[in-house]
Amino acid sequence: MQIRVLGCSGSIAAGSRTTSFLLDGTVLIDAGTGVGDLTLAEMARIDHILVSHSHLDHVLAIGLLADSVTRRRHTERRPPVRVHALAATLAALRTHIFNGVIWPDFTRLPSAAEPVLELVAIEVGQVLETGEHRIEVLPASHTVPAVGYAVLGTAAGGGGSSGAWVYTGDTGPNAALWARLATLQVDALVIETAFRDDEHELAGISKHLCPAMLKSELAQLGRPMDVYITHIKPGEVDAVMAEIGAHDSPHRIQALVSGQLMEFGHSGAAVNGR
Ligand SMILES: [Zn+2]
Ligand SMILES: [Zn+2]
């Protein structure tokens, strides 16, 4: 399996795009501004969008993508793009985005009978089947209802299994996540660190992490692993990574980069720049 990192920044600037990951070309995990780097043909291949929560940096491309691919998918008689999220997140999308004021209701366009988007409610602990993928919904702790996702590895021959790719979503301290990951083989962990340590208080209020909080979170992992930091604000990457590097850690920690390709679910994760 392959994850293409389309965007992993906490906000926008030239070269910085907000959260969006593309799994094997067909499953989009969060729909931030990074989606704009896809060609129309690449966008039209996406059959599933998994949303972590309702914040704008993670959802703004859903409606724009729908607008871009409507004609092509309708002509090709393709089914609606399925948007998976917590019921509360879907309600927020309906009320605040697909309301005919901010954006048209693409769950009823181009026609109510054959719309381009279909909203599908999910719950924490559920395992979604999206064609070839099995994706578990993980708990997150944020200022709005939120989840993370684990793309589960494929069953390997010989009775073993390959590991999962885990994305925490936006989250503050999250004991429930570490309890779940204790029983899961993880190849790569993508975790947010949205703030620097001098903004510790703001991180607490907004339910994000800063490097000191990240350290206490990662201490709850049972074994060393590859950890990728996401959701750092533009211009803050070097400072946040320096603060993280100043803490001793058994984990292999690096900043995620837009355009990065992450291969996993084989014998181990491998990462290539683009
Ligand atoms: Zn958020
Ligand atoms: Zn965010």
Write the pLDDT tens digit of every residue in 205-221. Answer: 999 999 999 999 999 99
| Ligand 1 centroid to residue 262 C-alpha, Å | 23
Surface-to-core class of residue 192, CB atoms within 10 Å of its CB (0-12 exposed, 13-18 middle, 19+ buried): buried
Tens-place pLDDT, residues 26-82: 999 999 999 999 999 999 999 999 999 999 999 999 999 999 999 999 999 999 999
Distance 209 CA to ligand 1 centre (A): 11
**Which two three-digit tokens encode residue 157?**
């021959």
For residue 170, report the distance from its CA to the centre of ligand 2, in Å: 6
- Work out the angle between the directed axes of helices 211-218 and 237-245 (0-180°, nearest 10): 50
Q: How many residues does this entry show for the chain?
A: 274
- Tell me how far the alpha carbon of residue 58 lies from the centroid of ligand 2, in angstroms: 6
pLDDT tens per residue, range 251-272: 999 999 999 999 988 644 455 5
Dist. CA 4 → ligand 1 center (Å): 21
57 alpha carbon – ligand 2 mean position (Å): 5
pLDDT in tens, 101-133: 999 999 999 999 999 999 999 999 999 999 889
Ligand 2 centroid to Cα of residue 177, in Å, is: 18
pTM attached to this predicted model: 0.94
